[in-house]
Amino acid sequence: MAHKVSPLAPASFPALPEIPGVRFATAQAGVKYQGRTDVMLAELAEGTAVAGVFTRSATRSANVLDCQDKIGGPSEGRAAILVNSGNSNAFTGRNGTEAVAALSDGVAQALGVEASRVFTSSTGVIGEPLPHARITAKLAELSGALDPAGIEAAAKAIMTTDTFPKGASAEIDVGGTPVRIAGIAKGSGMIAPDMGTMLVYIFTDAQIARGPLQALVGEIADRTFNCITVDSDTSTSDTLLCAATGASGADVSEEAAFAEALEAVMLDLAHQVVRDGEGATKFVTVEVAGAASHADARKVAMAIANSPLVKTAIAGEDANWGRVVMAVGKSGATADRDRLSIRFGDIVVAENGWRAPSYSEEETSAYMKRPELTIGVDLGLGEGRATVWTCDLTHGYIDINADYRS
């Protein structure tokens, strides 16, 4: 499990502001990993609105099903989020449902909150019964250690194959009152779009009711976490929770600045997940324009971002734009070979149905050596646009995934 830190990682974990109304604690429960924290508890002040976006997998975990049951409920009373790493509690049958109930009840008792306000996530191997008693045994310790400054420790406790903890924050001013947002995420493999990817927890002291918060988070997730892919595989546990404590007293329901700040935090975290893609050595932005529709643009962007041949070419620093043509062709989107143009960064490599006359292998090869690349495709057909983010496919991915369980 000790893989070296991604070369695309930020220099350090950012300084995140404390969020009034939120306290964190972590513990070493030994769920699977030894010698590191693997459980985090977040306590949320009375009246905190909680919104969520979840995996659409047909085999989603017991925790996800339980969160989905609870997420629409009333926002009265305190709430809590409990997360463990090392075991996903997915495909664990009745045992999984019982485990979630035991965890929820345990937290409810330890903190004196309603079990219906306790949200749990589990991440790690699929199909192994979750030894939930190891976690509940730590709840007294956890509830005694709650600390408003504990968010970085929380980001570390939820890691699995991640090589660095992920955090992001923003602060806006609402009529003279500062409003803060701080988020953490984990995710590295089994990352694919169309769900709140992997585990993401965002906290803010903004005042906003659950309904508008849910609408906002869902909409932003579509442009951030649903636009990243590492390996096209979709987790059974993907969960994004956003908790607004209201402690600032500033109502942000109509504040465009809040939506923008929230989107910046979510996009930053989404990019960090890609930067920690298993084995990643390149951060790749795929920009598609000129498609017949936005849906077509997304199909093309995802076909490129998920193509093993495109991803291995990028790993090899090979300007193999022919594979981009291939991915456009297989995407299922309307495309006209002779209107298609492709660029790597600002270098036009193909246009009018063949290699650009200005193409320079030397210039393009030099570009490919950069750690951050942009592949641009213009289909020349309409106004459809999409941007997705991905990474390359390297020996590191094979190393990590050919022996993950052992």
- Give least dist CB 222 to its own copies, A: 18
Does residue 128 touch its own copies according to CB under 8 A?
yes
Indicate the residue among 96 and 165 with the shorter CB distance to its own copies. 96
Judged by CB under 8 A, the chain residues 232 through 251 that form the site for its own copies are 232-236
- Give just the sign of the alpha carbon dihedral 87, 265, 53, 304: negative
The C-alpha atoms of residue 224 and residue 196 are separated, in whole angstroms, by 9
Nearest Cα neighbor of 166 from 206, 197, 133 is 197
Does residue 371 touch its own copies according to CB under 8 A?
no
Helical (H) or strand (E) element with 170 = strand 166-174
- Give least dist CB 54 to its own copies, A: 12
Contacts of residue 372, Cβ cutoff 8 Å, sequence gap at least 6: 8, 282, 283, 284, 285
26 is in an annotated binding site: no
Kindly report the backbone phi and psi dihedral angles of residue 38, in degrees, each rounded to the nearest multiple of 5, phi listed first: -140, 5
Does residue 322 touch its own copies according to CB under 8 A?
yes
- Give least dist CB 402 to its own copies, A: 3
Nearest Cα neighbor of 85 from 143, 29, 164, 42 is 29
Does residue 286 touch its own copies according to CB under 8 A?
no
Chain-centroid distance of CA 6 in Å reads: 16
Letters for 196-225 (x = contact with its own copies by CB under 8 A, - = none) are ------------------------------
List the beta bridge partners of residue 27.
39
Does residue 229 touch its own copies according to CB under 8 A?
no
The C-alpha atoms of residue 283 and residue 163 are separated, in whole angstroms, by 15
Judged by CB under 8 A, the chain residues 350 through 369 that form the site for its own copies are 350, 352-355
Does residue 125 touch its own copies according to CB under 8 A?
yes
**Using CB under 8 A, which of 295, 308, 360, 383 touches its own copies?**
308
186 is in an annotated binding site: yes
Size of the site for its own copies (CB under 8 A): 70
Active-site residue, from 123, 161, 197, 390: 197
Strand order in the sheet with 79-87: 22-27, 39-44, 79-87, 118-125
Judged by CB under 8 A, the chain residues 55 through 94 that form the site for its own copies are 55, 57-60, 88, 90-94
- Give least dist CB 317 to its own copies, A: 8
- Give least dist CB 401 to its own copies, A: 4
Indicate the residue among 259 and 292 with the shorter CB distance to its own copies. 292
The token duo for 70 is 């609870």
Neighbour tally for 333: CB within 10 Å = 23
Question: By CB neighbour count within 10 A (0-12 exposed, 13-18 middle, 19+ buried), where does 35 fall?
Answer: exposed
Nearest Cα neighbor of 72 from 57, 55, 56, 54 is 54
3-state SS assignment for residue 172: strand
Active site residue 197: yes
**Using CB under 8 A, which of 76, 173, 338, 372 touches its own copies?**
338
- Give least dist CB 105 to its own copies, A: 21
Does residue 313 touch its own copies according to CB under 8 A?
yes
Torsion of CA 79, 47, 49, 177, to 10 degrees: -120
The token duo for 274 is 């890609």
Binding residues for substrate: 160, 186, 197, 278, 401, 406
Residue set of the binding site: 160, 186, 197, 278, 401, 406
Q: Which residues bind its own copies (CB under 8 A)?
A: 55, 57-60, 88, 90-96, 125-129, 189-190, 192, 231-236, 306-309, 312-313, 315-316, 318, 320-323, 325-331, 333-338, 340, 350, 352-355, 393-395, 397-398, 401-406
